[in-house]
């Protein structure tokens, strides 16, 4: 039958034109009612679909028309099917099951998605450390639930995890305004759950979360150590969405295998899709980030100033942003438009003074805490034995002495049994690079830092 051939042709072309999730949203639910007198009547269950059909699929209909009918076919869109005036929203075609679930729910107002508009792919600077995470995030926003599900992004603080998560949500909503998207930190998810539980409104809770097309959960590590019942609810939500082919994206400050205090079966599920790591930006990327964050400002940041800043903060983009804010504050007060290295240095000095309590930490305090942690005595740390755990403790302590105090390198060397300052430099560099690769070590050092402060 020609009509069928015509419609198949349209769908085929639409499939090439649209991403998979766009196709599911816009093409699958549409139906060809008839072709009469060179006019095709196409049923669209939702009025918003018309835009996409008119804008992106119009020439496809024309092409299919010429191919099948050998003439120009015009189109008329209808929102009700002739035989069932009263129930516009009922659909019967087999392949649209997937769609029906979400269609029964209305779009979520942007203010309730939890998303922040300012975080987009456009203003996310790509660099060596985040290119894979960014590519995966982009892939997800092009092909909801088909490429990587779940997508799990992890990395240290201030490296853009929350930014990327929001960018996915914003990108999807740009392409598919009626997609049901929710961004929520894991901690808030738990609170939301407990609150609904308390009010006896679990059905409502389930309905909210299980009707989503895209669930973005930030900082999943905060589920660690939570009650089994809480983790259970997360587990159920995860399963319900995943088995309905709905997209889930998670972030964490550590990789799935280092999520202690989390049920094994949850951790296993996190690894079903794709896991991507974000590592700190290299110098060039930091410069690019600084450029993008300062170019729209009223202040003129000289390029050596940007280089100076990029050299000061190397492991956290949030700190770079903080430095820019401090600088513009000072510049405003002083009514300066051109930001020189001197101004930047002044602002940063003030910033570092905020954390000046750190500077009075005595080195022996660091040695004691590191020693306690690794089961190594301070004496061994000051000695020269090269047993593995002693070497590690010694290097970590030197690293922390350098990071947390303003002692000179020779002074630090001296406190470690009179070692050369190059030994301190080496230890610092070694631990610093190990931290990038070794989640465990990073977490160990964070734990030790907490003890010291």
Residues near Mg ion, by CB under 5 A: 161-162
Positive or negative, the CA dihedral 234, 121, 278, 133 is positive
| CA gap 30, 50 in Å, rounded | 10
Q: How far is the CB of 430 from Mg ion (least distance, A)?
A: 28
- Decide whether 125 or 215 has the Cβ nearer to ligand ADP: 125
CB atoms within 10 A of CB 316: 15
Report whether 169 belongs to an annotated binding site.
no
Nearest-CB residue for Mg ion: 162
The option from ligand ADP, Mg ion, none interacting with 157 (CB < 5 to 8 A, set by class) reads ligand ADP
Helix (H, G, I), strand (E, B) or coil at 449: helix
What is the number of the residue whose Cβ is closest to ligand ADP? Answer: 160
Considering CB distances under 5 to 8 angstroms, the limit depending on partner class, which of ligand ADP, Mg ion, none binds residue 436?
A: none
In whole angstroms, the minimum distance from the beta carbon of 273 to ligand ADP comes to: 19
CA–CA gap between residue 309 and residue 198 (Å, rounded): 49
Structure token pair of residue 338: 């051109």
Note the maximum CA span of the chain.
96
Q: Which is nearer to ligand ADP, 22 or 289 (CB)?
A: 289
d(Cα 216, Cα 150) in Å, to the nearest integer? 10
> Residue 324 touches which of ligand ADP, Mg ion, none (CB < 5 to 8 A by kind)?
none
Comparison of 18 and 317: residue with beta carbon closer to ligand ADP: 317
- At residue 215, what are phi and psi to the nearest 5 degrees? -115, 120
Closest CA to 389 of 374, 401, 399, 402: 374
Distance CA 389, CA 371 (A): 10
Separation between Cα atoms, residue 368 and residue 181, nearest integer Å? 49
Q: Which does 258 bind (CB under 5 to 8 A by kind): Mg ion, ligand ADP, none?
A: none
Considering the complex, state which of residue 311 and residue 362 has its C-beta at the smaller distance from ligand ADP: 311
Q: In the complex with Mg ion, which residue's Cβ is closer, 75 or 315?
A: 315
CB 340 within 8 Å of CB 307: no
Minimum Å gap between C-beta 95 and Mg ion is: 38
Q: Which does 273 bind (CB under 5 to 8 A by kind): ligand ADP, Mg ion, none?
A: none
Contact of residue 321 among ligand ADP, Mg ion, none (CB under 5-8 Å per partner type):
ligand ADP
Out of ligand ADP, Mg ion, none, which partner does residue 294 contact, by CB within 5 to 8 A per kind? none
Which residues would be at the binding site for ligand ADP (CB under 6 A)? Answer: 119, 123-125, 130, 157-163, 289, 317-318, 321
Q: Considering the complex, what minimum distance in angstroms separates the CB of residue 119 from ligand ADP?
A: 6
Report residue 407 as tokens.
């002692």
User: Which is nearer to ligand ADP, 130 or 149 (by Cβ)?
Assistant: 130
Q: Is 114 annotated among the ligand-binding residues?
A: no
Instruction: Report angle CA 357, 282, 405 to the nearest 5 degrees.
Output: 20
Counts of helices then strands in the chain (DSSP H, E): 21, 10
* Minimum CB distance to ligand ADP, residue 345 (Å): 22
Please calculate the CA angle 68-73-75 and round it to the nearest 5 degrees. Answer: 130
Q: How far is the CB of 122 from Mg ion (least distance, A)?
A: 19
Q: Which is nearer to Mg ion, 161 or 254 (CB)?
A: 161
Q: Can you list the positions of beta strands (E) in 16-168?
A: 31-36, 39-43, 74-78, 151-155
Residue 158 labelled as part of a binding site: yes
- List the binding residues: 158, 160-162
In the annotated binding site for ATP, the residues are 158, 160-162
């Amino acid at each position: 039958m020609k009509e069928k051939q015509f419609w198949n042709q349209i769908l085929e072309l639409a499939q090439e034109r649209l991403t998979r999730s766009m196709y599911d949203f816009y093409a699958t639910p549409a139906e060809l009612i008839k072709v009469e007198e060179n006019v095709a009547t196409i049923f669209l269950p939702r009025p918003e679909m018309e835009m996409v059909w008119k804008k992106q699929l119009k020439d496809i209909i024309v092409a299919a028309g010429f191919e099948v009918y050998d003439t120009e076919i015009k189109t008329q869109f209808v929102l009700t099917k002739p035989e069932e005036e009263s129930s516009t929203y009922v659909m019967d075609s087999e392949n649209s099951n997937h769609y029906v679930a979400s269609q029964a729910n209305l779009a979520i107002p942007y203010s309730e998605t939890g998303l922040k508009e300012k975080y987009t792919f456009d203003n996310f600077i790509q660099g060596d450390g985040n290119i894979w995470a960014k590519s995966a995030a982009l892939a997800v926003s092009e092909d909801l639930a088909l490429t990587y599900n779940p997508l799990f992004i992890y990395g240290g603080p201030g490296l853009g995890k929350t930014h990327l998560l929001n960018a996915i949500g914003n990108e999807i909503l740009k392409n598919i305004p009626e997609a049901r998207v929710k961004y929520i930190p894991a901690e808030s998810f738990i609170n939301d759950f407990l609150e609904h539980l308390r009010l006896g409104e679990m059905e409502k809770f389930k309905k909210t979360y299980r009707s989503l097309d895209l669930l973005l959960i930030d900082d999943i590590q905060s589920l660690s150590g939570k009650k089994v019942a809480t983790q259970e609810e997360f587990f159920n939500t995860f399963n319900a969405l995943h088995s309905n082919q709905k997209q889930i994206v998670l972030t964490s400050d550590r990789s799935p295998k280092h999520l202690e205090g989390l049920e094994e079966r949850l951790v296993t599920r996190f690894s079903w899709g794709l896991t991507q790591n974000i590592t700190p930006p290299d110098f060039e990327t930091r410069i690019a980030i600084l450029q993008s964050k300062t170019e729209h400002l009223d202040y003129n940041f000289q390029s050596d100033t940007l280089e100076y800043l990029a050299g000061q903060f190397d492991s956290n983009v949030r700190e770079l942003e903080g430095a820019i804010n401090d600088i513009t504050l000072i510049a405003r007060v002083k009514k300066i438009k051109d930001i020189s290295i001197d101004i930047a240095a002044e602002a940063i000095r003030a910033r570092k003074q905020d954390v000046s309590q750190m500077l009075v930490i005595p080195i022996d305090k660091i040695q004691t805490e590191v020693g306690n942690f690794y089961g190594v005595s301070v004496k061994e740390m000051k000695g020269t034995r090269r047993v593995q755990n002693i070497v590690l403790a010694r290097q970590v302590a030197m690293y922390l002495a350098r990071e947390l105090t303003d002692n000179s390198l020779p002074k630090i060397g001296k406190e470690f049994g009179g070692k050369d300052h190059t030994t301190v430099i080496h230890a610092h560099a070694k631990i610093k690079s190990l931290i990038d690769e070794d989640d465990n070590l990073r977490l160990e050092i964070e734990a030790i830092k907490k003890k010291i402060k």
